[in-house]
Amino acid sequence: MKTKLKNAASALAVGAVSMAGSAATAAEDFTVTMLSVSVYGPWFIAKEKGMAKDVNIDVKIIEDITARNAGISSGAIQCMMTTMDSTVVTAAAGLPVKHIAVPLMSYGLDEMVVDGSIQSEADIAGKTYAADYGFLNHMWMLLTLRKNGIPLDGAHHSIMLPQDATAAFSSGALDIDVNFIPFSTQSAEREGAHVLKSTFTDKTYERGLVSDSIACNTKWLEENPETSREVIRAWFEAVDWWKQNPAEGNAIIAAGLDWPEADVRLTQAGAVMLNINQNLGALGLPGGVPLCASIPAEAPQPDGEPSGWGELVGGKADCEAGYLADTWTLFGDIYQEAGVVDDTIAADDGIDQSIIEWLGAEGYDETYSSNNWVGRLPI
């Protein structure tokens, strides 16, 4: 009898080990790519804290957009963190990608630094500016030209990466550097230079004109609905956790990027991390409130002057729920006119709102509801 019990126990033990091994190997692999910037850092938190159930998160820092697009196209990369206008360009080029969520918006992180000859936006006409090609700073300048009645080619575009633009502007080779902190801060040190405007003073956040995108491979989304919902849920859990634990979150992100922790706070001083409710607001889904109507209380507050950005989308309100589709269309039209893309893609075809809609229906907008302003420098 003892032998039979012993054999049975052994069988159970082997079975338990086998089941544990199966459970360990059952976890899905998920790869997300990002630039080395703190605003994408919640993925490090989600990975370290194991927030995505039964999902192994692999975070890859890839600076080259061509390499990121290639990874998305091949399916080697499931999602990428990028700018909203870049997602429009990628989707319009026929790559298998869809916008899933707005992770953040620039709120002073991006700046237009100009020389002393430029005192107003009207003075931009005929000047030379630096910005990467088909990137949010390029779009911001094109939108500024359009808003001021200046042709899109009415200022000369010098295509440069951020660090090269700063060097060129500092040497006097450029009139304008459209850049982001800390590069724009360095450019502003040039004698006679000043910040003409930032995304905070320009209120670009009202219609998400300088914002980011979580963009994912369409085939992966179709074939892995549960995993895709889980990883995006984990992103918002990580954002919410960071808002409630800013010091520890800053440290995790600094370690992931190999940055000084102070640089995380410097960057985050100019960005707002969106929660699920603000994403519902961007899409115009029930109960959602857009960022422009729900600025974090600790953040610098905008003045009462109208931004006028609604004029670029048919004279609509500057701040309204459901702005995202119009912004998507505006980006496509502007980039097509500027020769960045040959074709456009409709918002309905480029934006997948199903995951945000599901998160709201499941009540996660209430679970991860913090609207704190994280990572900032002391005021």
Domain CATH number, residue 167 = 3.40.190.10
pLDDT for the residue 246 = 96
Q: Which two tokens stand for residue 181?
A: 């902190």
Q: Give the bridge partners for 214, in sequence order.
A: 81, 101
Q: Per-residue pLDDT tens for 72-81?
A: 999 999 999 9
For position 27, what pLDDT does the model report? 86
User: Is it the case that residue 255 has pLDDT exceeding 90?
Assistant: yes
Is residue 283 predicted with pLDDT exceeding 50?
A: yes
Q: Are strands 156-159 and 128-131 parallel, antiparallel or unpaired?
A: parallel
Q: What pLDDT score was predicted for residue 88?
A: 97
Structural contact between residues 170 and 191, judged by C-beta atoms closer than 8 angstroms:
no
pLDDT above 50: residue 15: no
C-alpha 269/C-alpha 31 separation (Å) is: 28
pLDDT in tens, 58-72: 999 998 888 988 999
281 within a domain of the structure (yes/no): yes
Cis amide linkage into residue 182, ω under 30° from 0: yes
Q: Is residue 138 part of a domain?
A: yes
How many residues does this entry show for the chain? 379
Same domain, 85 and 230: yes
Q: Please, which residues have CB within 8 angstroms of residue 375's CB and are 6 or more apart in sequence? A: 38, 242, 246, 249, 250, 253, 264, 265, 267, 268, 269, 271
Domain assignment present for residue 8? The answer is: no
pLDDT category at 17 given cuts 50, 70, 90 is very low
> Per-residue pLDDT for 259 more than 60?
yes
Residue 303 has pLDDT above 90, yes or no: yes
| Total structural domains within the chain | 2
**Would you say residue 8 has pLDDT above 60?**
no
Q: Kindly state whether residues 184 and 220 are assigned to the same domain.
A: no
Mean pLDDT of 110-126: 97
How does residue 16 score in pLDDT terms, banded at 50, 70 and 90? very low
pLDDT band at residue 24 using 50, 70 and 90 as cut-offs: very low
Report d(CA 149, CA 340) in Å as an integer.
20
Q: Is there a single domain that holds both residue 235 and residue 362?
A: yes
Is 373 contained in some domain?
no
pLDDT at 324 over 60: yes
pLDDT at 375: 87
- Are 43 and 171 part of one and the same domain? no
26 confidence band (pLDDT: 50, 70, 90)? confident
Residue given tokens 């603000």 in the structure block: 278
Whether residues 227 and 283 fall in one domain: yes
Answer yes or no: is 311 within a domain. Answer: no
Q: What average pLDDT score do residues 201-207 get?
A: 97
Taking 80 as the threshold, does the pLDDT of residue 11 lie above it?
no
Domain boundary among 163, 198, 233: 198
Indicate whether 19 belongs to any domain.
Answer: no
Q: What is the pLDDT of residue 376?
A: 86
pLDDT at 313: 97
- Say whether both 49 and 74 belong to one domain: yes
Last residue of a domain, one of 198, 233, 254: 198
Clarify whether residues 36 and 132 are in a common domain: no
Do 101 and 164 fall into the same domain?
no
Q: What is the C-alpha separation between 212 and 90, in angstroms, rounded? A: 14
pLDDT of residue 294: 98
Q: How far apart are CA 47 and CA 52, in angstroms?
A: 8
| 192, two tokens | 């006679």
Q: Is residue 327 part of a domain?
A: yes
Confidence of residue 270 (pLDDT cuts 50, 70, 90): very high
Kindly state the tokens that stand for 92.
């319009």
* pLDDT at residue 123 tops 50: yes
Q: What is the mean pLDDT of the chain?
A: 92
- 216 and 259 belong to one structural domain: yes
CA 200/CA 32 separation, integer angstroms: 29
Q: Are residues 60 and 139 in the same domain?
A: no
pLDDT of residue 20: 43
Q: Tell me: do 287 and 363 sit in the same domain.
A: yes
Predicted confidence (pLDDT) per residue in 151-178, tens digit: 999 999 999 999 999 999 999 999 999 9
Among 148, 169, 198, which residue terminates a domain? 198
Q: Which amino acid is at 356?
A: I
Is the pLDDT at 19 greater than 70? The verdict is no
pTM above 0.85, yes or no: yes
> By residue range, what is the domain housing residue 79?
29-107+207-300+320-367
12 lies in some domain: no
Return the closest-CA partner of residue 92 out of 371, 363, 335, 365. Answer: 335
Percent of the chain with pLDDT over 90: 88
Same domain, 234 and 328: yes
